[in-house]
Amino acid sequence: MSPLLYLLAFGYGLGRGMEVEGVSYLEFVIPGIIALTAMTTSFNSAGMKLNVDRLFYKCFDEILMAPVSPLSLILGKSLIGVLRGLIVSLVFLIIGIAISPMKVSPLFILPLLLTCFTFSFMGVLAALLAKSHQDMATFSSLVLLPMTFLGGTFFSSSQLPQALKVILYIIPLTHSSQCLRAVTLGQPFPWLSLLAIVGFGLAFFVGCVMVLRRASV
Q: pLDDT digits over 165-179, tens only? A: 888 889 999 999 999
With cut-offs at 50, 70 and 90, classify the pLDDT of residue 46: very high
CA-based nearest residue to 99, from 29, 37, 189: 29
- For the residues 133-152, what does the mean pLDDT come to? 90
Q: With 60 as the cut, is the pLDDT of residue 58 above it?
A: yes
Q: What is the predicted pLDDT for the residue at 103?
A: 81
pLDDT band at 36 (very low <50, low <70, confident <90, very high): very high
Q: How far apart are CA 145 and CA 139, in angstroms?
A: 9
How far is C-alpha 137 from the chain's CA centre? 17
The pLDDT, as a whole number, for residue 160 is: 75
Average pLDDT over residues 136-160: 87
With a cut of 80, say whether residue 137 has pLDDT above it.
Answer: yes
Q: Are 181 and 32 in contact (CB under 8 A)?
A: yes
Note whether 81 and 120 are within 8 A (CB).
yes
Q: Does 16 have pLDDT greater than 70?
A: no
The answer to whether residue 54 scores a pLDDT higher than 70 is yes
Average pLDDT score, the chain: 88
The per-residue pLDDT for range 80-132, each reduced to its tens digit, is 999 999 999 999 999 888 888 888 888 999 999 999 999 999 999 999 999 98
Confidence of residue 21 (pLDDT cuts 50, 70, 90): confident
pTM equals 0.91
- pLDDT > 90: percent of the chain: 54
CA atoms 77, 47, 211, 143: torsion sign: positive
Task: Write down the pLDDT at residue 216.
Answer: 58
Q: Are 84 and 41 in contact (CB under 8 A)?
A: yes
